[in-house]
Structure 1
Amino acid sequence: MNPLGRLPYRRIRVRGPSMAPTLRDGDVILARNRRTPRTGDVVVVTWVTRPGQLSIKRVTASNGSGWHVEGDNPGASTDSRDLGLAQVHGVVVARLWPQPRLLSSR
């Protein structure tokens, strides 16, 4: 089952500085389930080594067995450079709070 649930969209509060300046600690985002990501998309992921922990990162490459993702703030991000390929569960389409704006052009 998708950790984002069965509904097509889910609100998530950002925790930590790994996606600054795009997203900051405390921002609220809207993620779309079951959407195929592409390079450059901000996504919600999990890693095999960290089951149950959702992370928000940016897709840098695809691989047949997973996705290479990185935070926008490399000095404050634990991502595919440390944990390997990630499983993508949703694509972030908008920041809802503060300063609402779309994050994906699709």
Structure 2
Amino acid sequence: MTELSEEQKRDFEAAAFRRLVGHLRERGDVQNIDLMNLAGFCRNCLSNWYREAAETEGVALSKEESREIIYGMPYAEWQAQNQTAASPDKLATFETNRPKDH
């Protein structure tokens, strides 16, 4: 395996993260509940992880600020443009598989 410096790892991880966030911004048709049911995380999880990382470094971000960073717009605006009602089946699956920290 290629030996990577800590700086390279950080840079590559950051690039992959930016690409993931960009992909999720382009795919507003993919609902958060679908992501949660399939992968156990969603856009809101990413925004929470981002905020926690900032706080670890002494940077205070509000929930709204971190969500806007991930969604690329205010959360309420994203919801109005993209969010649809979850079906009873999706809600039941979510309740069954819901991660304990959500």
In the superposition, the TM-score normalised over structure 2's length comes to 0.25
In the superposition, the TM-score normalised over structure 1's length comes to 0.24
Larger Rg: 2
* Structure with the bigger percentage of strand: 1
